[in-house]
């Protein structure tokens, strides 16, 4: 068996008024994530996020 794809689904609760900041963080996190950097050339990775302001 070989892992060929990883799909992540995030469900965040964020403080009101911080959606833009949270979306920016999600957009750049992969370049800072050591786990993603390790597997990005050999495993297809994708992610999606739902954010609820509270």
Our count of domains for the chain comes to: 1
User: pTM of this prediction?
Assistant: 0.69
Average pLDDT, the chain: 94
For residue 27 the two structure tokens come to 């957009």
Residue 13, pLDDT score: 96
Count of other CB atoms within 10 angstroms of residue 47: 13
Q: In percent, how much of the chain has pLDDT > 70?
A: 100
Cβ pair 43, 6 in contact under 8 A: yes
Residue 27 structural domain: 5-53
Average pLDDT over residues 10-26: 95
Predicted confidence (pLDDT) per residue in 20-45, tens digit: 999 999 999 889 999 999 999 999 99
Give CA–CA dist 24/53, Å, rounded: 15
């Amino acid at each position: 068996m070989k892992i060929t794809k990883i799909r992540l689904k995030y469900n965040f609760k964020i403080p009101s008024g911080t959606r833009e900041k949270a979306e920016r963080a999600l957009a750049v996190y992969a370049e800072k994530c050591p786990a993603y950097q390790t597997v990005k050339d050999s495993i297809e990775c994708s992610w999606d996020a739902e954010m609820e302001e509270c």
